[in-house]
Amino acid sequence: MDKGAFMEKEIVAMPDKWPFTQHVMNLSTSIIREILKISSQPGVISLAGGYPSPDMFPIEDIKQAAIDAIDEFQSTALQYSFSMGIPQLREAIAKRETELGSSTKMENILITSGSQQGIELTARALIEPGDYIVTENPTYVGALQAFNFYQARYAAIDMDHDGMLVDQVEVAVKKYKPKFIYTISTFQNPTGITMTEERKRALIDVAVKYNIPIVDDSPYGEIRFTGKPVPTMKAVGGEAVISLGTFSKIVAPGLRTAWMNGSDKIIHTFEKVKQGADLHSGTYVQYILYKYLETGKLPDHIKDLIVSYGEKCNLMLKEIEDNFPEEMTWTHPEGGLFLWCELPSNMSASKLLQEAVKEKVTYVYGHPFFPDGQGDNTFRLNFSNATLDDISTAIRRLGKVFRRNMT
C-alpha cells in the first residue's frame, strides 16, 4: 500500500474523531468573551469586560523595568526557572502581603500565571467529579468555568450588602460536605460588595469548625476609593485561608503574573500541581515585575488608580441615579471595578442586551454568574475601562433602553 496516501486519509478523517471526554464536549464558551467580541465593534461603548483602564498602564516604567531586568539578569531572565517563581519576586510579594496585614514569608508564596491559574490549580488539586464547592451567589464566571471543568457542584450562598450569608454556609457545609469555600470577599466580582470583618470572622469560624479551606480571591482589594478598610480574609483567618493576589488590576493583566499565599506545606503541594500544568510562570516577566517593584513606584501608582476609578465610579452612580428608572436597584461599591444592577424580576437583562447593543452599549447580563442559574434580571457594569465621557453617554443610552421597557 502507498504509505503516503494512507497517512493523508487518516489525517483528513481525524478532526471529527478526537476522543474528547464527555465533559470537555459539554464545555460552553464564556459568555463574557462572546459579549467582548461585540464590544470591540467600532462605536460600541463597553461596560462589559473587567478591563483595567489602558490609559493607566505604567508603560514607561514597565519598559524601563524590562531593560533593567535583562541588563541585570541577562540569560538567567530568559532561562527556565523555579516552579515556585523567582525568589526575588516572591520575597517582594511576601513583604507587600505582610504590609497588607498578613504576616507572610517567601515560603508562603507561589507565583502563578494570573490568579486564574491559582483558581485552576485549586480546582485541579481539590475537586473530584461531583464534589461541592461553596461560592457566593453570584460569583466570578472564570472560577465557575475552572470548577466546571472538574465537574464540581455548587452550594451557592446568597449575599446581602455585608457579603455571603454565613448562616446559610453552615447549613450547606453540613448538608454537602464541600471541598472548599471560594469567596471574593473584597469588592466582589460581579457585585462590588465587600464582606464585613464580622462576617469574615463568622465564615472563618465555620471553616475552622468543619476543617474546610477558604480560598479568598482578591484581585481588587487594594483599589479602595471610599469607606473604611476591612482587614483581609488572610489577615483575619491565617492558615485557614489561601489567598489569591494578582498584578492584573494594579499593574497590567497582560503580564499574567499573580500569586497564591498559603501555609508553606499547602504551597509546596501546589508547587507540584503547578509543575504538571506549566513547569513555571514566565521567567522574564517575573524579573520585570521584580525590577518594577524595586523602584518603589507601585504604591503611588495604586493611589492614581484609586483616584481615577473612584471618579469613574462616582460619575457612573450619578448618571445611573439620573437616568435609570426608579424600579431598578444597584450597588454602591467602595472600590474595585464593578457595580451590579437589578431590573424588576419580570424583566430579562439578557434580552435587553440586544437593544443595548443597537444603542451601541454593552454590559454583561447576570445569570452566568449564578451557579444556581438565577438572576436573569441582573447585570454587571464595569467602570474602569471606559472614559468619563463614554460612561455618561453609555448610562444615558442604557437609561433609555430600560425606561422604554418598564412595564
Ligand X SMILES: Cc1ncc(COP(=O)(O)O)c(C=O)c1O
CA distances from 58 to 52, 63, 283, 301 (A): 12, 9, 20, 8
Residue whose entry in the numeric block shows the C-alpha cell 454590559: 363
User: Rounded distance, CA 237 to CA 201, Å?
Assistant: 7
Indicate the SS3 state at residue 211.
coil
Nearest Cα neighbor of 333 from 216, 186, 233 is: 186
CA distances from 86 to 67, 73, 79, 298, 338 (A): 18, 12, 11, 19, 32
Nearer to ligand X among residue 93 and residue 352 (C-beta): 93
Nearer to ligand X among residue 121 and residue 347 (C-beta): 121
Nearer to ligand X among residue 217 and residue 319 (C-beta): 217
Closest distance between ligand X and the C-beta of residue 36, in Å?
Answer: 12
Q: Sort strands 180-183 and 214-217 into parallel, antiparallel or unpaired.
A: parallel
Closest distance between ligand X and the C-beta of residue 136, in Å?
Answer: 10
CA distances from 394 to 70, 150, 323, 339 (A): 43, 38, 11, 14
The type of residue at 16 is D
User: Rounded distance, CA 235 to CA 245, Å?
Assistant: 13
Nearer to ligand X among residue 141 and residue 206 (C-beta): 141
DSSP state of 53: P
Nearer to ligand X among residue 36 and residue 306 (C-beta): 36
Nearer to ligand X among residue 382 and residue 392 (C-beta): 382
Closest distance between ligand X and the C-beta of residue 219, in Å?
Answer: 5
Closest distance between ligand X and the C-beta of residue 364, in Å?
Answer: 11
Closest distance between ligand X and the C-beta of residue 405, in Å?
Answer: 29
Nearer to ligand X among residue 93 and residue 184 (C-beta): 184
Asked if 166 contacts 199 with a C-beta cutoff of 8 angstroms, the reply is: yes
In the complex, the residues that contact ligand X under the rule CB under 6 A are: 50, 114-116, 140, 142, 184, 189, 217, 219, 246, 248, 253, 258
Which residue's Cβ lies closest to ligand X? 114
Closest distance between ligand X and the C-beta of residue 114, in Å?
Answer: 3
Nearest Cα neighbor of 364 from 57, 135, 140 is: 140
Closest distance between ligand X and the C-beta of residue 217, in Å?
Answer: 5
